[in-house]
Structure 1
Amino acid sequence: MYSVNRRERARALWHSFSYWWGRRSLQSRLIAAYVFIILGPCLLVSVYFYESINNTYLRDAVEKNNYLLQMEKLHIYNQIEAMERAAQMAYSDTDVEEFLANETEPQLVDLINFNTNAYVNMTRIQFNNPNIEHLRLYSKSNKVHEIWPIIFREERVSSKPWFQKALQLKGQEYWSFQKSDPDLMQRYLEAPAESLPKVSLLREKSRPADNHIGMVQVDMLLSRFTPKTYTDVRDNQTQMFLVDSELQVFTRPDHSFLQDNLKMSDMIAERYKHFRETGAWDSEYSENGRSFLLINTPLERIDAYLLNVVSMEGVMKDISRTRNLIIGANVGFITLLTLIAYVTNAFILKNLRRLTETMKKVRRGEAYSGIMIRGGGEVGELAHHFSKLMNTINTLVAQAVSKQALSKEAELRTLHNQIDAHFLYNTLENIKMLAEIENQRTISDALTSLGGMMRYNFKWSGEYVKLRDEIRHIENYIEVMNIRFEYPVKLVLHIEPRYLELEVLKMSLQPIVENSVKHAWCGEKENLQDPSIHIHISETEGDIFIELRDNGMGLTPERLHALNEAIYAKDERCESTAELREADRRTGGIGLRNVHQRLQIFYGDEYGLVVQSEAGSWTMVRLTLPKVLLTGDKQL
């Protein structure tokens, strides 16, 4: 029910809009059409360009920051290689290995030799790699003398989780990220650990296999390991993060996105957890009304990730500025187009307004004095046809006045003819009475038929009669004409009773029958034994076909062609009416031509008659007229 009401309201709203729109001026509708036609493509092009520019800005931002990310990744890999080289040099030094594995109290001479040779080599490793913060060697033996800041006993760090994890790897590299760099030497017992995040490379030493003797540790501060992550440059648009295998997040503490976006750290950890499980990475993030782009690259060698978080605020400002420019350009273009269309339409439609004003004056009854519109085009053609129409109307008005006068005159003549017709009717009745007194039945019947014909001709109350009346008139004509024939002409009717109520033009069949009686058996002896005229009526798709066929001498192709020319010719084909009548008389087509023209005048050009014939056999005339009852009904 609710949807039906909505449809009704929508339909009513549409009808109201259609009514309002239909009452607008042509100029207003043309301008609205121009704007609508241009607005659609403009919007499509603008949306396309906006999307293209938006994608371009985003792509540039991604490419630029991904490039920075890859450069930082390359720097990290260089630092990894430096740490691995340092660890390998310490790991492979045999003197160091002997010192760490010593289970007895070393002699003074051994300590001096180790300190002057192997220990110096260890310090040289750190000196040659200034980015390395610590190079530390841990010994399991309690007999080993600690030589700060490189050689320590394991008991100082054996309880640390990172130490236990490295111990489980049995000589393989283990990378550990820590939030601080504690002082193992504990020189200042009350001093807090420095908040200096670092990365450590640890490698367990065994001799022989599975015989643990110590651990090698190479430390580097994250500010040197990944300088762009801990940069001091104030950049509110981008920030790099380092995420280790345990999903710890490391980044600069100052000017950090984490200060204003408290959920970002947890979000990064959750995203990497999801990335490890599914391999799918979501690069978009929003918090506090700000949008960020997350560009990720893995650090496979240390089982960590490098993340560049890009603030989209600057990019969105550029996109918004571009969008405003596009909207402004569209508004300006459409405004300019509207002004141009208004001026142009006003100039073009000026002549149309003149023509409209002239039509209004004519409608009010003012005399039409003509309109002059220069130039061509539809408006000029419309003005030309309007002038022709007004001239035709004036001509028709004059003809109507003339016809009205002629009608009055015809009415007077009709009254006079009726007086004459009564005299003739009375005279024929007197002659008929004399014939009956003299027992001349043939003459009496002929006079009866002739009287019927005369009444039919003189009683011209309208152009249309019933088919039965026209058929009766033909029968009277045949009876009168048979007086002079030795072999009377037979009229054979093939007409269903329902067609007798059809409307036909008065005197439309009699000229055709008369033409057959006069010409069909002229000079033909063998067909005089049984002359006949057959009338058939058929119907197709609302049209009636009346066929009158005789069995006379027929027409040769030449005479048939001449007859058709006479029937279908216009008045202009002869220089004068006298010439036209002479041509019709020679071909015997005066009556047929008159019937054809009357049918076309009253019914239309698609109606009329057609003549067909075969020399020596027959001639057929087919009339085509609409199926109409005398009452005007189109159905029988």
Structure 2
Amino acid sequence: MIGIQRKIWTLTAIVMFIMASIWMMLTYYNQKTQDQYNEILQRYLIMNEVTTASRQTVNALNIYLLTPTEGNLSSLRRGEQQLREAQSSVGVLRNEENDFALTSYMNLIDSLIETTDRSIMFKSERETEESSKAFAEATRVSRYISEMTLQLIDIELNTYERFYRSIIEQAEELKKFGIWILLAITFGLLLFTYWFSLSITRPVQQLTKAAQELAKGKFERQIVVNSSDEISFLATTFERMRVNINNLILEMKEKARLKSELQQSQLLLQESQLRSLQSQINPHFLFNILDTLSKKAFLEGAEETSDLLVSVAGLLRYNLKRLDRAVTLYDEVRVMRQYMEIQSARFTERLNLVTEIDESCLAVQMPGLTLQPIVENAVIHAIEPAENGGTITVTIADAGDHVAVEIADDGPGMHEEKIRGILEERDMQPEGHSTGIGFGNVVRRLRLFYGVSDVIEIHSGQGRGVRVLLKLPKTRRSDTYDKAIDRG
């Protein structure tokens, strides 16, 4: 054992001495050509940085146009800054052969930056079509920059062709010299190490083959390695890992299947719940309207009655067509006002509507027929029973990440049990509503539409009226409502 160890150390020392001598000789001859080669390579890398920076700028512009946030805009500005820095680096590459091409190259970079800024400007001014055209132009300029980069690299190759050939010739000579040295050393080592390495290479090959099988996804085949050393322990550990991974994959597949079935069941349940909310117009409401119109036509001239008919027609069209898709808060406010015009004709001075509306908040999306049932609930329970009528106040304001809609009345109030039933979606009866949609149905559709439960609050007390607060998120977290509509 000692003799073998001494031979191994002697052979190692000889090999290290030879390799060190060869390395010192080759280093001296390679250093000069390596420095020149690095300089030329750096020129190619600078050009490649321009192409990379232009593509990153276009990608950042595309992300900003799709999602115009401050973070995406900052990322786009960083991309433009990198492109300008790369442009400055390209300026030092100018020579007689590439002067004209490099000038065009610099102009293309300036054009890309200008087109990007123009697209951002149009996007900020909400000129979507012009912004898209500017983005398309920026994409074309980026492609031109990539093509021009290849042309400049080709010019560089032609300029330094002789130097390249010299480097290649030297590399070939060094390769031949290295091959001869390597063959001489390898021949001596092979004779000595063959018997020593054979007991190691065979188990390693078996383990490598097993690893390749695992890389192909064949986790069912058992790993068997014939060895009695450390390789055997490694193979045993590898086998345990294979078994664990195989069991985990089977478990994940089963969980994925169960999750898919659960999601499909939940979607079908929500779809059926949504369809159950799309009820018919209450005929009793139509009779009340017709009776009101008849009295107005008898007591007054035709002009006010005509306006009332317009409100009725708009309300009926909205009720019949808007429940199956999302609408804006502006549409809901408009139909709520039409409804209040109809009710004002019934109650005259007994009904007073006060509105405080921030017009900038009316673009937020919401499910159709949300405000009218809530206001109608106030009319039915607060205005209609009172001999002197009452006041309904509607306030819409911006509350940061959501729009706050408050509907309040000065009626007798609502019992705590009633409020609990509405918020828990147990009180689903329409109670004579014109749309056949009760308060609880409004709560359910709001939660289904936005995908959150904390979307409505109801505050009341005996003799203190009812105050309903809707918190409408500006960004929806769930598309279950739309999927249910599309599947329907």
Same-fold status (TM-score > 0.5): no
Structure with greater Cα Rg:
1
For the aligned pair, the TM-score class normalised by the smaller chain equals: 0.3 to 0.5
Higher helix share: 2
Query: With structure 1 as the length reference, what TM-score do the two structures score?
Result: 0.33
Normalised to the residue count of structure 2, the TM-score between the two structures is 0.41
Q: Which has the higher contact order (CA 8 A, sep 6+)?
A: 2
